[in-house]
Structure 1
């Protein structure tokens, strides 16, 4: 039997094309067949690298993380644990907002490399050196992480990409429709606008809660 030859298409090409296509069609429209068409190859060329869509999403999330860390200006030295969590969370949100459905791709995916370990190690070290036990440090970091993922998931449900607004989220129309519920009507301006400020306020609440819970 002749030896099996590697395809001309490499994994990075496929992942880069997938992330480009994601911004056009979103997660629901992203399929191995659509990516193969984008790359002008046959679908079996992709199955060489990915057995299914989840394996592709895992690699996409990993590449998103690589790009985030490459662009990050985070310097762990001298940062308080509060500033470390604030900066990591802000960097993650910024990275997710670069891609349509970025938070959905990232959530639940498994990193295929070990690049994330260095950043996580530094964050856990900052917290444990501040007096947190390791379980407490894990709870603190995951709470900030889950808040960020959840916030961006909801944000992208309204604004799939920065400057793009999904139909049906007109705040004035919503207020008129809910006029019999004045507080709920007025709250729309805070639920569905100014996501930057909403994220900062929510993150501040998370940090304050961690401080209160663990007395740090």
Structure 2
């Protein structure tokens, strides 16, 4: 249990929730459990969060604050490098938390801590020749892919927080012995997530360059 040593506020609750998340996962994360961790009564949290979704919004915002603090300036003027580096950085930060991508997905940020980074990233694309509209579409495409990829990656394992093994691709292949292409696909889809993610981002980069950038030109 975390003994409360400072005034209870939204950020302290969110920080405690993120720490507890790694122990119990999203399904086990309740306001009651967080209150117990903070050594307060559960109703005290409702002064700050009307429901669990409001808490998730603040947790995602705290994740973004930490990500922004860790993120350096764009690595180069090459939009492809910025694109790839930023998406690998997003994936790495989501993987720091058990069910991190699920927590992050579909939330509404509670402040503008994301805005500086977003503005800079979009500017790199616009300078490279994307229209503002095409830059936004390109970024959203890669952003959505990254979050979806990590949701699947964390769901299929391995789970470093729970100590569980990853998806048994060999058992899957045996079940699909009559479907050789589908059986072999499992080895590509459920192993070596780092390589798979990088190849996926590479495909997105090639796609937006061939469509959105050229359309702008």
Q: TM-score of the superposition, structure 1-length normalised?
A: 0.90
Q: What runs of 5+ residues in structure 1 fail to find an aligned partner?
A: 1-6
In terms of mean alpha carbon deviation, does 180-189 or 148-157 score higher?
180-189
Matches of residues 1-216 of structure 1 in structure 2 within 5 Å?
8-72=7-71, 74-76=72-74, 78-159=76-157, 161-162=159-160, 169-214=167-212, 215=214
Aligned residues: 209
Q: How far apart are the structure 2 equivalents of 1:196 and 1:155?
A: 10
Q: Residue in 2 aligned with 1:4?
A: none
Q: Deviations over 1:179-205 (max 9, x none)?
A: 111111111111111000000000000
Q: How far apart are the structure 1 equivalents of 2:164 and 2:154?
A: 9
Q: How far apart are the structure 1 equivalents of 2:166 and 2:101?
A: 21
Sort the Cα spacing of 1:164 and 1:26 in 2 relative to 1 into closer, same or farther, 3 A.
closer
Runs of 4+ in structure 1 deviating by more than 6 angstroms, as ranges, are: none
Q: How far apart are the structure 1 equivalents of 2:179 and 2:164?
A: 24
RMSD: 1.9
Sort the Cα spacing of 1:113 and 1:176 in 2 relative to 1 into closer, same or farther, 3 A.
same
Q: How far apart are the structure 1 equivalents of 2:176 and 2:19?
A: 39
Q: TM-score of the superposition, structure 2-length normalised?
A: 0.90
